[in-house]
Chain A
């Protein structure tokens, strides 16, 4: 079955960067796009962008353009999201997701807490 397993919670200082990983299994990793979504406290989920896991092409939400970077390590079936210049507004749970045969699958989420 399709599974996405993310890295553990992070606590970061304002102005630094965070890197979240997402390991896929149960499907052909290279053939599907990995999406990143975040959800702030009490807020609806917010799409950050996607990456073609096969060729590495990316599309970023305008809100995060210039501050976010997606990458992948195909040999490890793992995708990464790096968000830089963190502020307290970036405190949120970050999810990776993949749509396989019209069905969305999500990782378990990674809590990123940003404090000064």
Chain B
């Protein structure tokens, strides 16, 4: 199975901050990586697919980059609604695997 190592596990930030979350795959997944935002009690919301494609309706302050094994999610200017948990997911091969999550808090 492909292991997804996500960091940091917790991130303290303020409104307006630039936030970067990283995800490393244990082997190449080319660009088959998605990023999700999840609020408590809700389904994960897709932010980014194919490493850098912004999902419909997602604000442009979110961006994704990377290929192969190393990926990043950047929030250019953190907004109040962005305090949540973020997950990366590889869908290059089965089983799909997910990072442990990054909780972005005040």
Contacts and interface: CB of A to CB of B under 8 A. Distances in A.
B99 A103 contact: no
A44 B87 contact: yes
B96 A47 contact: yes
A99 B91 contact: yes
Interface stretch (B20-28, B48-56, B61-69): B48-56
Q: Interface size for chain B: under 10, 10 to 19, 20 to 34, or 35 or more residues?
A: 20 to 34
Nearest to B100: A44
Contacts of B94: 47, 50, 59
A44 B43 contact: no
Interface string A71-104: 0000000000000000000000101000100111
B43 A108 contact: yes
Interface string A1-25: 1000000000000000000000000
B26 to A, nearest CB: 15
Nearest to B96: A47
A68 interface: no
A107 B96 contact: no
Closest 8 CB pairs of A and B: A47-B96, A47-B95, A44-B98, A109-B43, A103-B49, A45-B98, A102-B50, A61-B95
Interface of A: 1, 35, 37, 44-47, 49-50, 59, 61, 93, 95, 99, 102-109
Interface of B: 32, 34, 43-44, 46, 49-50, 53, 55-56, 87, 89, 91, 94-101
